[in-house]
Structure 1
Amino acid sequence: MHIQSEEAESTAAQGCRPSRFAGLSGKLLWLTVICIMLAEVLFFFPSVANMRLRWLNDKLNAAAAAAIVIDGLQPVELPRYLQKETLEATGTKAIVLRKDGTARLLAMSGEMPNSVDQQYDLSDVPLMTAIGDALDTLVFGGHRIIRVYGPVQDSATTVEILMKDERLRRSMLIYSRNVFLISVMICLFTGILIFFALNSILIRPIRRLTRSIQSFSGDPEDPRHIFVPDEGHDELSVAGRHLAAMQGQLQKTLKQQKNLAALGLAVSKINHDMRNILASAQLMSDRLVGVDDPVVKNFAPKLLRTIDRAVGYTTEVLSYGKANESEPRRKRLKLHDLVHEVRDMLAIEPQSGIEFVMDIAPDLELDADSEQLFRVIHNLCRNAVQALTAPGRTPPEENRITVAAHRTGSVVSIIVDDTGPGMPAKARQNLFEAFRGAARSGGTGLGLAIARELILAHGGTIALVEKPSAGTRFRIEIPDRPVSLDDYRIRSVREN
């Protein structure tokens, strides 16, 4: 079964792994090809325009050379067959020479066109004009008669030629095809080089990181799945070292959590059984109180307090072992009545000399979960009773527990104060931490940890307050829930 599961995980990992050309390297390859093609397109327009100008200049220079020779034969007129051969050699229909303010038709074919479709001056052609003319020829040319003229070298003599643009367009198409083929070859060659370079430098390390993350997420407890980083100083090497450190730390944390979970389950079971045993012992100790024996009456209260502490300890451990406390079911309640229940539940013995003082207005209300708030205040008051009745402690003139409260705006502040010995320094350092923030010997610190969790669930705060005299003082602040406009209107209607 284990081998089959490993094969299934391997198959699933391979299925999730992208192919070579569909992954990041393939995307980089296509991106490189597209970028080079765009660059070639931007280069193509000036290039084809320059090619067209060179082609026309070559035709104009050939006609100029023939015109100079013909012009040197004056006043002899060039025979018709020589004119025809000259025009065929230069690829034109007519050659005109403008010199000293006069124009002379040097050669002309028998089929002279009636009109000219386009005229081009090659003496000074701007780049954008040349590009526009080149595109015009490629798209609309091939059957038009064009007139091309320009100076002969740097002289004032000008040569004009009439010709069809069919050959010009054909040459431009051949040139465009060659540029396209060369561009494709450059794109493929450059793209392949970049593909293999990036695949070796970038993609392969990223794939190693990805495979390590996949394998580690499948079985984070296996040390073999921890990433082995490269010895480098680039970003990927640094990321690999951080990933390895994070995986190692996470593996240790998971191991600790697993051990703590097993320990917590065992402790919960032990505490559950112990609580049942202590409940039986508590029933038997209650019967001992009624025995008419001085020795029994002397030790029975101490036995009861010891058993009560043990029961309270097991209750706290079981309560803290829950995954999460339930959400507060908040409602408006009178704090005076709740604290009165806490005082009755504490059942402070008269011979202890502890005075329980409530400085709370009878009509003071707050928005809270009554059960959870009872647990918090009862826990703080119980800790105060235990501190005031600690063995070996010399009682002061006043043994007093004070619970006071007042409202400021939408926040109710509750003070739980006692005149005991105060919080030890070690407990202050680890306050509200389970099993570390115990204020007395043998304590667990679970009560304060649970109290803080419950108050935070209400959106409030709980803190230890410094006081000039001896003792411990906690302050709890609980804000009211914000009231929506709809709830306010419904409440107003009900009140009216």
Structure 2
Amino acid sequence: MKHEGPQKGASDPSAAKPGPLFPFLSGRRRRSRILAGLSGKLLLLTVSFVMLAEVLIFVPSIANFRNNWLHDRLTTAGVAASVLAETNTIAPRLQEELLRTTGAVAIALDQGSRRSLIAMDGKVPADIDHVVDMADINPIDSILETFRVLFYHGNGYMRVMGSVSMGHVERVDVVFPTELLHQDMLAFSVRILALSLIISAITAGLVYVTLRAVFVRPLQRLTRSMDHFAEEPEDIARIIKVSGRSDELGDAELRLAAMEEALSRALTQKQRLADLGLAVSKINHDLRNLLASAQLFLERLEHVPDPTVNRLAPKILATLDRAVGYTQAVMSYGKANERPPQRRLIALHRLGSDVSDVLGLAEHAGVCFENRVAKDLEVDADPEQMFRVLLNLSRNALQALEAEKHPAVVRRIVLEAEREGTLVHIRVWDTGPGIPANIRKSLFKAFHSGSKNGGVGLGLAIAAELLKAHGGRIYLDETRPGACFCIDLPDRQTA
């Protein structure tokens, strides 16, 4: 028999010890990035939104400023017109003062059927670029005309007409340089811009400080805690301390703490299993040598002319052969090196009888084994792998029943099966206490044993892996008393 040394997968436990999670995080250089960080983005967004709001306010404000400016000029001209209506004359000095006050170059009035020019600076200009009738003004036109004047470049003039309620004067017609209104609107825009910047700075500062205190700093605390935990995740002292907040960030802290605690436990368990793997590999090596020696002794006993020896020796030798193969089960699990199934048509009843012989159920004083499988039922499976599946299930059932001490308790293991087309349904069930509810979700995961007899929890995991390789599945039937494991095993797919 070929003797093998320690398994390659079971190296020194220090090699399996996980290092820091995400080392690029724990080793990176942290730079101050004001604009690239969340705080800087909040600041820029706040300033941008406040400025956008100010722009939306500025448009009607500048249009209203223009309308008021024009209305003031018409009102001033209307006062002079009312004086003319009473005296029928206006002194040159008063004309000059009126033109200087309004900034106009010509002022005329309309008294029904009579139109009079009451003041003029030189001759009437011919290049009038803008004509505004205050009686026909509307918000849209007012805004459009406002921006035409605001972005105006030139030396043209503007003519404004409007009604006034002063004496017998009905309408006033004023002509003045467009640049005059343009300059006043620019000055108004500068004042609005300065006020907007001040409001934006104050608002953005308050929002920035508030959001940084309420959101950004707690998020930075979460990030620092993650980095700190990633440096040594096995240390439970590095798990984040929950602040007790009642908002979404508090929920995030709770979930992060639970995740870190679960990860810490998992890594600790992984380290322990790595240590266990090293110990098992050493035991495995020595155990295989002992089994090989036992096989050699049995091969000699086969030649002894004793009927009992001749009857039992082949079974013992077959059991030892299986034991030699099973010494690899713990080490091979999870390394994806389980050999593919070599499927054959096998008699399931005979396979169940072999399982009963290996476990000694035929001569067991307290546990009854019932093989209810029809003798002509054949399944398409790997004989050795299917034997391991049934052996693991039956051994678990036997251990559960042997733990029952009350003499009145029925101790029975039943194997039954039936074929449905190309699918074979197999059940292994017992009259034991059943599977605890707290381990049912992880029942087929490695090292999650519910056994009280020192099992490591590999039997069901190996059974599930072998059946998956056959295209089948195993599951727990929770409707039956005791523990009932059901297997669905399909035949091979044919082209």
Give me the TM-score of the superposition, normalised by structure 1.
Answer: 0.73
Identity %: 33
1:316 Cα deviation after fit: 3.4
Residues 267-295 of structure 1 show CA distances to partners (whole Å, capped at 9, x for unaligned) of 2321332122122123213323434579x
Which residue number in structure 1 is paired with residue 116 of structure 2?
104
Match of 2:77 in 1: 63
Match status 1:462 vs 2:469: no
Instruction: Please say if residues 137 and 169 of structure 1, whose CA atoms lie closer than 8 Å, have aligned partners that are also in contact.
Output: yes
Residue 252 (structure 1) aligns with: 265
**AA partner of residue 37 (structure 2):** G
| Local SS of the residue matching 1:117 | strand
Give the one of 378, 385, 395 matched to 1:375: 385
1:310/1:232 Cα in 2 relative to 1: closer, same or farther (>3 Å)? farther
2:228 equivalent to 1:208:
no
Partner of residue 301 from structure 1, selected from 299, 309, 312: 312
The 3-state SS of whatever aligns with 1:21 is coil
Structure 1 residues 96 and 89: CA distance shift in structure 2, 3 A: same
Residue in 2 that maps onto 1:318? 328
Q: Which residue in 1 is equivalent to 2:282?
A: 269
Residue 494 of structure 1 corresponds to which residue in structure 2? Answer: none
Distance 1:225 1:401 in 2: 51
- Kindly state the Cα deviation for residue 148 of structure 1 after the two structures are TM-superposed: 0.9
Q: CA deviation at 1:14?
A: 5.3
Question: Could you tell me how far 1:204 is from its partner in structure 2?
Answer: 0.8
Aligned position for 1:29: 43
- CA distance 1:458–1:121, change in 2 (3 Å): farther
Question: Is the 1:427–1:437 Cα contact (8 Å) retained in structure 2?
Answer: no
Residue deviations 1:78-119, cap 9 Å, x none? 354543443233211221222244322212222212364322
Q: Is the contact made by 2:288 and 2:324 (CA closer than 8 Å) also made in structure 1? A: yes
* One-letter amino acid of the structure 2 residue matched with residue 109 of structure 1: D
When the two chains are superposed, the root-mean-square deviation of aligned CA atoms in Å is 4.7
Cα distance, 1:445 vs. partner?
7.0
Work out which of the residue numbers 403, 425, 428 in structure 1 matches 2:432: 425
Q: What do residues 348-392 of structure 1 show as CA deviations (whole Å, max 9, x unaligned)?
A: 89xx8999965357xx9x7xxx65x7512564279779999x99x
Distance in 2 of aligned mates of 1:36 and 1:400: 77
C-alpha contact 1:432 1:449 (8 A) present in aligned 2: yes
- What's the TM-score once normalised by structure 2's chain length? 0.73
Pick aligned residue for 2:293 from 264, 269, 280 = 280
8 Å CA contact 2:78, 2:166 repeated in 1: no
**Alpha carbons of structure 1 residues 444 and 220: separation in structure 2 relative to 1, 3 Å:** closer
Aligned-pair CA distance for 1:223? 3.1
Per the alignment, do residues 142 and 46 of structure 1 end up closer, same or farther by CA in structure 2, a change over 3 Å counting?
farther
The number of residues matched between the two structures is 446
Distance in 2, Cα, partners of 1:415 & 1:341: 14
Mapped to 1, the partners of 2:327 and 2:295 lie a distance apart of 19
Range 127-136 or range 137-146, more displaced: 137-146
Instruction: Report the equivalent of 1:186.
Output: 199
Letter aligned with residue 266 of structure 2: T
Deviation at 1:48, TM superposition (A): 0.9
List per-residue Cα deviations over 1:133-165 (Å, max 9, x = no partner): 101111235433222122224877221111121
Distance 1:247 1:254 in 2: 10
**Pairwise CA distance, 1:207:** 0.4
Deviates more, 1:217-226 or 1:207-216: 217-226
Between the aligned partners of 1:443 and 1:226, the Cα distance in structure 2 is 32
Cα distance 1:107–1:478, how it changes in 2: closer, same or farther (>3 A)? Answer: same
Q: What stretches of structure 2 of length at least 5 have no aligned partner?
A: 1-18, 364-369, 403-412
Per-residue CA deviations over 1:196-219 (Å, capped at 9, x if unaligned) read: 222122111110100111221221
**Are the aligned partners of 1:327 and 1:457 in contact in 2 as well (CA < 8 Å)?**
no
Residue 489 (structure 2) aligned to one of 477, 482, 494 = 477
2:240 aligned partner: 227
Q: Residues 320-399 of structure 1 correspond to what in structure 2 (within 5 A)?
A: 320-321=330-331, 322-326=333-337, 335-336=344-345, 358-360=375-377, 371=382, 374-377=384-387, 379-380=389-390
Sort the Cα spacing of 1:382 and 1:79 in 2 relative to 1 into closer, same or farther, 3 A: closer
Structure 1 alignment gaps of length 5 or more:
392-398, 484-490, 492-496
In 2, Cα distance between equivalents of 1:438 and 1:55: 93
Partner of 1:72, secondary structure, is helix
Is residue 467–residue 473 contact of structure 1 (8 Å, CA) maintained in 2?
no
Match of 1:218 among 226, 231, 240: 231
What corresponds to 2:33 in structure 1?
19
**Using a 3 Å threshold, how does the CA distance of structure 1 residues 346 and 290 change in structure 2: closer, same or farther?**
farther
Q: Quickly say closer, same or farther: Cα 1:438–1:286, change in 2 above 3 A.
A: farther
Shift of 1:248: 2.3
Quick one: which of 139, 144, 166 aligns to 2:179?
Answer: 166
Decide which moves more: 21-30 or 283-292: 283-292
Q: Distance in 2 between matches of 1:293 and 1:273?
A: 31
- The CA distance in 2 between the partners of 1:139 and 1:400, in whole Å, is 96
1: CA distance, partners of 2:446 / 2:313 = 27
Change (3 A) 1:226 1:185: same
The question of whether the paired residues in 2 share the 8 Å contact of 1:437 and 1:444 is answered with no
Deviation at 1:33, TM superposition (A): 0.9
How many angstroms apart in 2 are the aligned matches of 1:330 and 1:28?
61
Query: Structure 1 residues 130 and 20 mapped into 2: Cα distance closer, same or farther (>3 Å)?
Result: same
Give the CA deviation at 1:10: 10
Please give the residue correspondences for 1:138-149 in structure 2 after superposition, counting only pairs within 5 Å.
138-140=150-152, 142-149=154-161
Distance 1:97 1:447 in 2: 109
- How big is the shift at 1:40? 1.2
CA contact (8 A) 2:79 2:166 kept: no
